[in-house]
Amino acid sequence: MDSPSHVTRRGVLSGAAAGLSLPLLAACSSSGDSETTSTDPASASSTSNGSTGPGSGDAGTSTQTESLVSAADVPEGGGVILDDLVVTQPTTGEFRAFSSTCTHMQCKVSSIDSSIHCACHGSQFSIVDGAVEAGPATAALPEQPVRRAGRDIIRS
């Protein structure tokens, strides 16, 4: 303790850089954690509801008869994007529906051809089962049960 402590410019700058970078790292990691947390339960719960059985009992009766889209408006081998759903027709007469929110960063999907596309970061999903075909998304689009009722596609 005989000599006074000497602080160098390098020491001050290193400490400042470390102090400023920690909040940035924390902000980045918490965003990734909340995304994973928010998408995994949604995927698990929608999968456990089942998508093929009409009248699963979870949906209210008022939404079961409400037309989502005319079956004629859903192209075979493609689909249509609605407010909260993507309705696809992978093969003639087979209709599937998935969340229209990308599981990567919660952007709304932007287009459909033989795949469902998210323009935000380039993720692509299957029109058959919502599975990831190209990342960065790592979780499938949650499936929503639908069925054909006459000329319309409705929630089941």
Residue 2 lies in a domain: no
Q: What pLDDT was estimated at residue 40?
A: 38
pLDDT on residue 87? 92
What is the maximal distance between C-alpha atoms in the chain? 93
The set of residues, in sequence order, having a beta carbon less than 8 Å from that of 111 and lying 6+ positions away, is 81, 117, 119
The DSSP bridge pattern shows strands 146-149 and 152-155 to be antiparallel
The one-character DSSP state at 101 is B
- In the chain (156 residues long), the average pLDDT of successive 10-residue segments reads 65 65 52 38 35 39 69 91 92 92 87 88 91 88 92 89
Q: Is residue 127 part of a domain?
A: yes
Residues 6+ apart with CB under 8 A from 113: 78
Pairwise CA distance, residues 53 & 30, whole Å: 38
Q: Which domain holds residue 50?
A: 43-155
Residue 77 has what pLDDT? 92
**For position 18, what pLDDT does the model report?**
64
Q: Which stretches of 29-92 are assigned E, i.e. beta strand?
A: 67-70, 78-81, 85-89
The pairing of strands 146-149 and 85-89 is unpaired
- The answer to whether residue 38 sits within a structural domain is no
Total domain count, the chain: 1
> Could you tell me if residue 144 is inside a domain?
yes
Kindly state whether residue 120 falls inside one of the protein's structural domains: yes
DSSP output for 114-138 = SEEE-TTT--EEETTT--EEESS--
Residue 30 lies in a domain: no
Per-residue tokens: 152 = 């319309």
Q: What is the structure's pLDDT at 16?
A: 65
- Are the C-beta atoms of residues 123 and 108 closer than 8 Å to each other? no
Residue 57 sits in a domain whose CATH number is: 2.102.10.10
Residue 115 in any domain: the answer is yes
Residue 110's identity, in one-letter code, is S
Residue 101 domain flag: yes
Nearest-CA neighbor of 129 among 152, 101, 96, 155?
A: 96
